[in-house]
Amino acid sequence: MTRNAADAEDLVQETFAKAFAAPGRFQPGTNLGGWLYRIMFNTFVDGYRKRRQEPLLAADPVDRQTDPRWSPGSADGASAEEHALGNLLQAEIVAAIRALPARHRLMIYPADLKGLGYRQIGDLTGIPVGTVKSSLHRGRGQLRATLTAHYPVQTDDVGGRADSCTARRSALPTAGRCPIGDTGRVLVAACPKRSPIPGQRGLTRHRSAGGLSTGGCTRSAASARESLPGGPGGGAGVRPGRGAGVRAGRRAGLRDDPLRLPRAWALGLQRSRADHGPGDGSLRIIVPDRQLACAPADSAEGRRYLGAMAAAANYGQANRQLLSEAARGVLSA
Amino acid sequence: MTGARLHLVYDVSHNLATIETHAGRQLCVHRKGATRALPPGHPDLPADLRGSGQPVLIPGSMGTSSYVMAGVPGGGAFASACHRAGRMLSRRQAARSITGAELRRQLEGRGIAVRGASERGLAEETPQAYKDVTQVVEAAEGAGLCRKVARLVPLGVVKG
């Protein structure tokens, strides 16, 4: 609400102060959270109307650099670069996932790298939950076979199925560190009976964490199409049902392998019915904000975007040359 | 000033995404609010900059210093550094905090020539709207992103 930590704290304090000052106004049996929220909302609106008259400091101008809430994970002293590289998948794992048939890969990513539940994946892709489960089972089996070949585990040492994740983790060359960070999610992927991320399966949790909902996705995907250089192309005006994208993607064989840019998939990726090949503007990438666009860097859209950016840089440089020349003219006149 | 010659020393574009190789991987590095700061000896640097590392210009504001920095080895941020002192006030907030005429008087009172600015455009760029550039530069150097080379003070400002 406040876009500013200090104001947020003040708002919460004022809300509770008002609530304690007038406990009689709360009707027992009704929703306490809702009542408090209503007080908070009214307090905020009142304050907003008052503050509109005064110039304001921007939201937390310096805090983002020093406030630990804005730099998660830096406590271990690792640099931003180390964090970013640590979050990339190891080449063998990328290759193993990439080798999976598209229908299995499509399930592995949201389930085992993003921690979505069966139902969420079903909602996102329009694929029936039973099919999600069976595709995941086969995909994980195949992935386990490939990864076990890369990182052989002595079955004698494993001591039961539940420990196989740990055993496999210690067999990795990075000495106990999971190749995609410390979560071990890819390794868990090799153990089909274990939930990838406990506690992250409910749809509610998913929504609050990522702000994703199917309604929002459609809008975001549409705006992503529009924002890409080259325009909406064949995708203009086409809003396929939620299932159509993936089915069309399967038919098309997912030519732009999304795993080359895991981040693009981090927000979910489908192809629309209008998929006639790379570069037709029909990537459907779900982003949490309408102002964002997203495409794999080496897709036709991504390449066009980078090309346009390079052209803009050249234009800027030429423009500055002209300005410099004009300045030269003034100084030498 | 007439008869003076003007040489281009350095020109760079900010806020760009480029395909680069880091730690043996090909990555798309998008520097937003940042600029490339290649370390000395990097093969992408032209010969005359190879010894010093890539120049990093950190302009302050119309009324404060600007700094010339240079890239250093092992910056830990994909060879990047900030490219300015960030805003503390939005343009709108800045324009409300001071009038353009008042700011012009202040700058000219300190011997800084002001040209080509609308009153509103000038007020948007008031030095109070920016973080203290000296602190920003100290932080960038302290974080090992780049090193200080020179401090510049403004003689004149042109706002388009």
Average the pLDDT over B11-35 and give the result.
Answer: 88
Question: pLDDT tens digits for chain A (333 residues)?
Answer: 666 667 777 788 888 888 888 777 777 777 777 778 778 777 777 776 666 565 544 444 444 445 555 454 455 667 778 777 777 767 677 777 777 877 777 777 777 776 778 887 777 777 788 888 888 888 888 888 887 776 665 444 433 343 333 333 333 333 333 333 333 333 222 233 333 333 333 322 233 333 332 232 323 333 333 333 333 333 333 333 344 443 433 333 333 333 333 333 333 333 332 333 344 444 556 566 667 777 777 778 788 889 999 999 999 999 999 988 998 888 887
Q: Can you point out the beta strands (E) in chain A?
A: 269-271, 283-285
Residue with tokens 């005359």: B48
Residue with tokens 């010093």: B52
- Amino acid A315: pLDDT: 94
Provide the pairing of β-strand A283-285 with B55-58: unpaired
Q: Name the residue among A102, A91, A36, A78 with its Cα closest to residue A257.
A: A102
Chain-centre distance of CA A28, in angstroms? Answer: 41
Contact predicate A268/A212, CB 8 Å: yes
Residue of A nearest to B23 (CA): A85
The runs of H, that is alpha helices, within B23-111 are 47-50, 91-97, 100-109
Question: A65 in contact with B at a CB cutoff of 8 Å?
Answer: yes
Contact predicate B81/B111, CB 8 Å: no
DSSP, collapsed to helix, strand or coil, labels residue A274 as coil
Among the partner-chain residues B13, B23, B88, the one whose CB lies closest to the CB of A316 is: B13
Structure tokens at A100: 């999976």
| Distance between CA atoms of residues A229 and A299, nearest Å | 12
| Distance between CA atoms of residues A105 and A103, nearest Å | 6
Residue with tokens 């000495």: A175
| Distance between CA atoms of residues B82 and B59, nearest Å | 10
Q: Which residues of B are catalytic?
A: 83
- Amino acid B135: pLDDT: 93
Give burial (CB, 10 Å; 0-12/13-18/19+) of B155.
Answer: exposed
- Cβ pairs A/B, distance under 8 A: 70
Q: Could you tell me how many helices (H) and strands (E) chain B has, helices first? A: 5, 9
ipTM over 0.90: no
Residue with tokens 């996102």: A124
Question: A331 in contact with B at a CB cutoff of 8 Å?
Answer: yes
CA distance, residue B102 to nearest chain A CA (Å): 17
For chain B, the farthest-separated pair of C-alpha atoms sits apart, in whole angstroms, at 54
